[in-house]
Amino acid sequence: MIKKLFCLFIVLSLIFPSVFTKSYASEKPYLKSDSAILMDARTGQILYEKQMDKVKYPASITKIATIALSFKYGNPDDKIVISKDDYISDLSATHIALIEGEQVTLRDMQYAALLMSANDACNAIARHIAGSQDAFIEKMNEFAKSAGAVSTNFTNPHGLPDENHYTTAHDMALITREAIKNPDFLKIMGTVTYEMPANNKKPSRPFANQDAMLKSFDPNYYKDAVGGKLGWTEESRHTKVTVATRNNRTLIAVVMDSIDPKAKYEDTRKLFDYGFDEFREYTISPQNVKSKQIDVTDGPNVIGTLNMYLSIPAKIALHRSVSSKDIEYKFPDITFIDKSQQDNCPIEMEIYLPDYAEEFMNNSPMKIKLDTSYTPLLSTVTEKPKKEQIQWLALQIGEISLISLGVTAAIIVTFLFFVFIRNFTILCRKKKHQKQLAAKRKKQMETMRIIERQTSPYKMRTTSTTMVPPRTQPKSQVHTKTPPYPKNHNRPSTQNKANMASKQNQKNISQNRNHRIS
């Protein structure tokens, strides 16, 4: 019997493993690429990383920063006249064969750079935006630093090999996150085909996106992908940046230093499947986060209090193995701040995940920006000019008065509401009682009418001849009664007729007696 039960357990555990063991559909994906990252585009949260801060050559994914800057400083309808400075010295590099004097638009160059990875188009954009490539490169590095890419250095707008031209997977994800905030950029990044119109030098030219994950007829197609950019040089090997959206969640996947074209597609697919399937969106409610107060100082004096709090719900991504109860929230470890830094100091709350979460996701603390409000100390009022004192006191009194009026109005409205409900209830009960009394009286009146009809003499006279007389009279004395004639009627009644007949008979009898005697 024990053997049978053991065999049954083994069979069921093979069929339904999740019933008997706590297992997950997939752990961290194994990637062939040397460096990779998966980032939530909305929050910047890192869901997966593999040597994400290792410095690598970016190749043509550099063009993401170039096109992002072209939207920031240029207009897509701008006209550009191609010069010899825009040519590419290395003819083996990708280009669209721009020639001197050719008139194009900035929009055409943006499509050429992202879809065809045209290096000459990038040179034309750089010269148009900044006047020269060197000036444009300065803007590129400033843009990278502002996006948080601290391990990046650009030396050209296209990504051709240069030992001083480098970045990291983490930095490229941050740059892409900043770039896709512009919907026009993401539109071009996700375009499959585009036709550049004819110009003064050349006929129209068709462009096709090189990213196979965007093409529905390709085996590497990924239905949730909305944009992508490829890169390759012998020094960098294969690089790829892809953006995908599912269920209102947008993820950015970056793979660098992939061994072959197939590996970069496989790794990107694994990252997106992991991010969309294994993670859920969790909302942090402001009620669950306590506020914190720190002092605001002016030299040695404390002049007020800075309140730090979460005003609106914040969303983060959690692996399905991580419980939201284990999340810890930590405010900045500061006790005071100078008034000169009050407006420019970013106040961020750090979110720490439990230690066991490191097995399935990046465990570095996440940061959420907090809202702040300043409350001056009452003692500082005397230090202000008299006019400011009066204004401040007036505002304070006005706020207190408005609050008092609001509370008083709320109390009065509540009281009147309850009084109305009470009076309405009493009125309803009164009407109901009156209806009951009226119905009772009506019933009594009907009962009295019935009794009066049954006991009335006129009723006795108008009854039929078969009506049973009162019990005081014997049955033999029951007489039928004929209704009397009207007063004005000349016809004698039946009783009068009988009396007259009786008198006539007595008269006849007396006449006969007299006749016999005579």
Helix (H), strand (E), coil (C) string for 147-179? CCCCCCECCCCCCCCCCCCEECHHHHHHHHHHH
Q: What is the mean predicted confidence (pLDDT) over 312-332?
A: 87
Provide the percentage of residues in the chain whose pLDDT is more than 70.
Answer: 80
Q: What is the C-alpha separation between 207 and 230, in angstroms, rounded?
A: 15
- 363 or 194: which carries more pLDDT confidence? 194
Model confidence band, residue 256 (pLDDT cutoffs 50, 70, 90): very high
Which whole number is the average pLDDT over 332-346? 77
Whole-angstrom Cα distance, residue 252 to residue 241? 7
Task: Spell out the residues 6+ positions from residue 291 whose beta carbon is closer than 8 angstroms to its own.
Answer: 307, 308, 309
CB burial of residue 417 (10 Å; 0-12, 13-18, 19+): exposed
Among candidates 73, 78, 170, which has minimal Cα distance to 129? Answer: 73
Task: For residue 283, give the nearest of 246, 333, 248, 243 by alpha carbon.
Answer: 248
CA dihedral 242, 246, 248, 253 (to 10 degrees): -20
C-alpha 275/C-alpha 319 separation (Å) is: 9
d(CA 111, CA 332) in angstroms, rounded, equals: 44
277 or 482: which leads in pLDDT: 277
Percentages (nearest 5) of helix, strand, coil residues in the chain? 45, 20, 35
Contact between residue 119 and residue 158 where contact means Cβ atoms under 8 Å apart:
yes
Q: What is the pLDDT of residue 275?
A: 95
One of 28, 50, 56, 63 is an active-site residue; which one? 63
Residues with Cβ within 8 Å of 180's Cβ and at least 6 positions away in sequence, in order, are: 41, 186, 189, 227, 243, 250, 252
Q: How distant is the alpha carbon of residue 239 from its chain centre? A: 36
Matching residue, tokens 């002016």: 298
Q: CB count, 10 Å around CB of 93?
A: 17
Q: Across residues 143-170, what is the average pLDDT? A: 96
Largest separation between any pair of C-alpha atoms in the chain: 189
Phi and psi at 62, nearest 5°, equal -55, -30
First-to-final CA distance of the chain: 150
Pair of tokens at residue 353: 């995940």
Residue with tokens 């026009």: 184
Is residue 361's pLDDT more than 70? yes
Query: Partners of 250 in the beta sheet?
Result: 245
Contact status, residue 104 vs residue 201, Cβ threshold 8 Å: no
Residue 440 pLDDT grade (very low, low, confident, very high; cuts 50, 70, 90): confident
Number of other CB atoms surrounding residue 499 within 10 Å = 12
Mean pLDDT of 313-336: 86
Task: Collect contacts of 497-502 with beta carbons under 8 A, ≥24 apart.
Answer: none
What are the structure tokens assigned to 78, written together?
Answer: 């701008």
* pLDDT on residue 234: 92
Provide the pLDDT for residue 387. 58
Give the mean model confidence (pLDDT) for residues 77-93: 88
CB 287 within 8 A of CB 41: no
* 296, 304 contact by CB (below 8 A): yes
User: Could you confirm whether 60 is annotated as catalytic?
Assistant: yes
The rounded percent of the chain whose pLDDT value lies above 90 is 47
**C-alpha to C-alpha distance for 268 and 271, rounded to whole angstroms:** 5
Taking a C-beta distance cutoff of 8 angstroms, is the pair 501, 516 a contact? no
Spatial contact of 312 and 252, defined as CB atoms under 8 Å apart: no
Please tell me the least confidently modeled range out of 44-58, 212-226, 364-378, 409-423.
Answer: 364-378
Q: E-strand spans in 63-147?
A: 79-81, 103-105
Mean pLDDT of the chain: 83
Q: Is 335 helix (H, G, I), strand (E, B) or coil?
A: coil
Question: Is residue 63 annotated as part of the catalytic site, yes or no?
Answer: yes
Q: How confident is the model at residue 498 (pLDDT cuts 50, 70, 90)?
A: low
List the catalytic residue out of 35, 60, 70, 258: 60
CA distance 121 to 508: 160
- State whether the Cα torsion 135-136-139-145 is positive or negative: negative
117 is catalytic: yes
Q: Quickly count helices (H) and strands (E) in the chain.
A: 12, 18
pLDDT for 458:
53
> Region 119-125: what's the mean pLDDT?
96
Q: For the ranges 121-130, 159-168, 435-444, which has the lowest average pLDDT? A: 435-444
Q: Nearest 5°: phi and psi at 387?
A: -65, -45
Lowest mean pLDDT among 57-71, 235-249, 289-303, 389-403: 389-403
| Contact (Cβ atoms closer than 8 angstroms) between residue 209 and residue 192 | yes
pLDDT bucket at 4, cuts 50 / 70 / 90: very low
In sequence order, the 6+-apart residues with CB closer than 8 A to the CB of 243 are: 41, 176, 180, 186, 189, 190, 225, 226, 227, 228, 250, 251, 252, 253
Q: Which residues pair with 207 in a beta bridge?
A: 194
117, 236, 264, 270: which is the annotated catalytic residue? 117
Question: What is d(CA 230, CA 208) in angstroms, rounded to the nearest whole number?
Answer: 13
Question: Which of 249-253, 370-374, 404-408 is predicted least confidently?
Answer: 370-374
Query: Tokens standing for 71?
Result: 């939207």
Q: Is residue 147 predicted with pLDDT exceeding 70?
A: yes
CB atoms within 10 A of CB 383: 12
